[in-house]
Structures are given as C-alpha cells and as structure tokens.
Structure 1
Amino acid sequence: METWNPCIECGICCTHFRISFYWAEADDAPGGFVPAGMTERLTPYLRCMKGSNSMPRRCAALSGTVGEAVSCTIYENRPTPCREFPVYFDDGTPNPKCDELRATIGLPPLPFSPLPRAA
C-alpha cells in the first residue's frame, strides 16, 4: 500500500528555510552523502544547500512547481534537517509550522493522521 505524502504537492519548506548542516554530511567527506556540488560553505563546520542562503530562497535540489507538484532531486541523499523536519508529530497531529507555510501558498491545513505518514 502506498503512503500519502503531502510534501509532493507542497515544497514550501524548501523555499522558506536555510537548510544548513554539518559539513561532513557532504559527499566530499568520508561517509558523506549530500552532493557537495549542491552545497555552499557557511563556516568551517557548516554548509547549506545552494539556493537556501539568499532571498528569494529555493533549495537547488527542489524540482517542480511549489504548491502543485514538487520533488527532491536528492531525496535519498538529502541532509539531516530535511530528514528531521516533522510534517506530522508522533501523535498524528500536523506540525503547525507546516500548516502555516502551506497557508501562504493557498494549500489547506493537513488533516490529523492516526497512521504514520511518509515524510
């Protein structure tokens, strides 16, 4: 059974946040996985996804039209902040920040989810 993923119709978080993470997550470090060419250096210890450090923001890995149909071109290799942003909390309650951002592009709030959802 396929799991519904609200992120594939939204993508607003990829245009709102600076996506910063520890430098060693990039694939030019041993064990790293985020494509280094899609990152920029912030400090000796931090990088961010290109496109997310300046206004208007749009992560370089985001493909598609925000609010309609989007995807992450490096989904399997996305950095920790992207993996850890909770669309839903453990009790099935939607993240209020997610609903707030969705509203800015005319998308409805997320429904309560009694079952685990994809993120």
Structure 2
Amino acid sequence: MPQAVSPCLSCGACCACFRVDFSVHELLSEGGSVPDGLTVEVNGHTARMRGTDHVPVRCAALTGKLGQHVGCGIYEWRPSPCREFEAGSEACDRARARHGMAPLGA
C-alpha cells in the first residue's frame, strides 16, 4: 500500500509566515542538531531561524516554490517549534490563508 504524501510538501506556508525562535541548546554548537549558520542570535538564551524575522518571511531552510513543491533543507535537524507544528492546526490554516491557500480540512 503506497504511503500518503504529506500536504506539507506542496505548501510551505508555515515556513513563510511565522518567526521561529528556540533555545540556543538546540544549536549544533551547543550539543543540539540545528545548524548554527542558518540561525541568528536573539539573546544569550534564544536563537531564531534566519529569514523568519524578515518581511516577507521565508525561513532560510525552506526550499522550493511555496504552494507547489517545497521542502526543508534541515528537516532531520529542524528546531522544536517546527517539529511541534501540526498540519491542519489553526496556526496552519492561518498561515495557508495568508498565502491564499484553502485550509487543509476544506
């Protein structure tokens, strides 16, 4: 039986909508897995994915064309906010709406 394809692979709205802040302990240099080069320091305790505090928002790890075919360049090493984000959640629907996409449940 074929595995279902994630709707996230044709979306990417969350990666082009929200600021992504996380503990510096998730950085590779601090024993975590998130590559330091794709982040900026917020303060001594918090790091942020590059591009998520710019306008327009676009995470530096996002690859591909939004709404068509996208991916995360560091999927296996992504920070906790990305790991915890749920497809089809209220936040997902808000991000999709901001980019002219219908909610996943529609």
Calculate the TM-score normalised by the size of structure 1. Answer: 0.81
Report SS of the residue matched to 2:100.
Answer: coil
Which whole-Å deviations, capped at 9, do the CAs of 1:43-88 have from their partners, x for residues lacking one? Answer: 100000111122221100000011111000000000000000111x
- Using the TM superposition, give the Cα deviation of residue 97 of structure 1 relative to its aligned residue in structure 2, in angstroms: 2.5
Q: Does 1:109 align with 2:103?
A: yes
Q: What corresponds to 1:70 in structure 2?
A: 70
Report SS of the residue matched to 1:63.
Answer: strand
Measured on the aligned residues, the alpha-carbon RMSD in Å equals 1.5
Question: Across the two proteins, how many residue pairs are aligned to each other?
Answer: 105
Query: Which of the two has higher C-alpha Rg?
Result: 1
More contact order relative to length (CA 8 Å, sep ≥ 6): 2
- Using the TM superposition, give the Cα deviation of residue 96 of structure 1 relative to its aligned residue in structure 2, in angstroms: 2.4
1:104 and 1:40 map into 2 onto residues whose CA distance is 25
Structure 2: give runs of 5+ residues left out of the alignment.
none
2:89 paired residue among 95, 100, 103? 95
Structure 1: give runs of 5+ residues left out of the alignment.
88-93, 113-119
1:80 and 1:100 map into 2 onto residues whose CA distance is 20
Q: What corresponds to 2:39 in structure 1?
A: 39
The percent of aligned pairs where both chains have the same amino acid is: 42
